[in-house]
Amino acid sequence: MQRLFQKRIILGIGGGIAAYKSAELVRRLRDLGADVHVVMTRGAREFITPLTLQALSGNPVHMDLLDPNAEAAMGHIELARWADLVLIAPCTADLMSRLVQGAANDLLTTLVLATDAPVALAPAMNQAMWRDHATQANAELLSKRGFKLLGPGAGVQACGDIGLGRMLEPETLAQSAADLFTQHSLTGKHVLITAGPTREAIDPVRYITNHSSGKMGFSLAEAAAEAGARVTLVSGPVHLPTPDRVTRIDINSARDMLAACEAAMPCDILIAAAAVADYRPEVSADHKLKKDPNSADGMTLHLIRNPDVLATLAQRADRPFSVGFAAETHNLLAYAAGKLRDKNLDLIVANDVANTDIGFNSDNNAITVIDRQQQQTSFPQTSKSKIARQLIDFIATSINKV
């Protein structure tokens, strides 16, 4: 099982002898499915060559903050935003001390300041340095600030000493990195998610659809699985791989989507991220429609209402905790609040699709969640995968309140 499937990891390498193990760590992370970008400090380059890490990661190695070529390819802020996790292994005593200070005097420390992703540290140093009051105080402070400390381990050290200070083995670190993505907030829950567009056939070769890419719904499915849920993802036609540990059912039309969702019931939580066509052609021709030689002006297509997948499921006697999305170009919050009420929902996620940086087919989103008490919680613009995790956390907290 690829527990880091599609996860984007910055592996920061500090200047310590354990840096030689980082090469193996890159391999282990990639074996678990991660995309790895390596960032080396100046000290790290004394212990292992960038070329080795470039070959193993399959990506260019990042080294300098002020390198115009590197910045042109992927600037440091872009790299900081790209990451789902920053893992620093080995993390030396000096690096820990600079992180405590909030230093930004090289690429790695600057990235740590600039990222919203979790940061994990694998300390590695001589046992006396690890025991020193300053290092212990730094470790405690970093933990309090939310850095995850992985290790150090005990044993014989490169210098011949025996004690605590060894970097954990690459296999252990890679598994620990994967564990960081697994919370247990939805363990035991069945989460049903709709994603993507629907296609409403006009004839065998034409259909009505919309610009939904499925990215939001698929990110939610991945985040729900990471939170321990059993996930069923009912998706319209999209070009996305199925997230790990997710059961996917592909459909075309709104009526197919409803049938697939009803078959997947019961569920504890329903998240409707799909852009379902509200209308379909009343008649779907069983042959390709030809131009009418008697009509120069055009043709009339009569549309009829589709079933509302979300509202139908939210009305059932065994209704799940129901979360809708509202994609709007204007009056966003008012329309979203109206849908919350009309569809009998617990939460609605308002999506401003007038802004082309977010919403349909973008990699990013910014949302406001409205609950039944009309309370609003906003999540600022970031990647859809991060928004999905934030939303899943929010839902996990909300279900415990009802």
Residue 324 in contact with ligand PMT, rule: CB under 6 A: yes
What is the C-alpha to C-alpha distance for residues 124 and 161, in angstroms, rounded to an integer? 13
Residues 3-32 that bind ligand PMT (CB under 6 A): none
Helix (H, G, I), strand (E, B) or coil at 123: strand
Residue 91 falls in the annotated catalytic set:
no
Q: Say whether residue 92 binds ligand PMT (CB under 6 A).
A: no
Structural contact between residues 343 and 322, judged by C-beta atoms closer than 8 angstroms: yes
CA dihedral 41, 178, 213, 189 (to 10 degrees): -150
Other CB atoms within 10 A of residue 282 CB: 9
Extract the tokens encoding 211.
């610009």
In this structure, the strands spanning 230-235 and 35-40 are: unpaired
Number of chain residues interacting with ligand PMT (CB under 6 A): 28
Beta carbon nearer to ligand PMT, 110 or 194: 194
> Applying CB under 6 A, which of residues 123, 325, 352, 398 lies at the interface with ligand PMT?
325
Work out whether 236 is an interface residue with ligand PMT (CB under 6 A).
Answer: no
Q: What is the DSSP string of 214-267?
A: SHHHHHHHHHHHHTT-EEEEEE-S---PPPTTEEEEE--SHHHHHHHHHHH---
Please report which helix (H) or strand (E) contains residue 136, including its range.
Answer: helix 133-144
Nearer to ligand PMT by Cβ, of 41 and 213: the residue is 213
Stretch that binds ligand PMT, among 69-77, 130-138, 222-230, 354-362 (CB under 6 A): 354-362
Bridge-based pairing of strands 347-352 and 153-156 is unpaired
327 binds ligand PMT (CB under 6 A): yes
Q: Which is nearer to ligand PMT, 290 or 330 (CB)?
A: 330
Q: Is 212 in the site for ligand PMT (CB under 6 A)?
A: yes
Asked if 306 touches ligand PMT (CB under 6 A), the answer is: yes
* Shortest spacing between CB 85 and ligand PMT, in angstroms: 22
Q: Which of residues 244-303 bind ligand PMT (CB under 6 A)?
A: 254, 272-276, 278
Does position 194 interact with ligand PMT (CB under 6 A)? The reply is yes
Q: What is the rounded CA–CA span in Å between residue 313 and residue 310? A: 5
**Interface residues with ligand PMT (CB under 6 A)?**
194, 196, 212-216, 254, 272-276, 278, 306, 308-310, 324-327, 339, 351, 353, 359-361
Residues labelled as active-site residues? 159
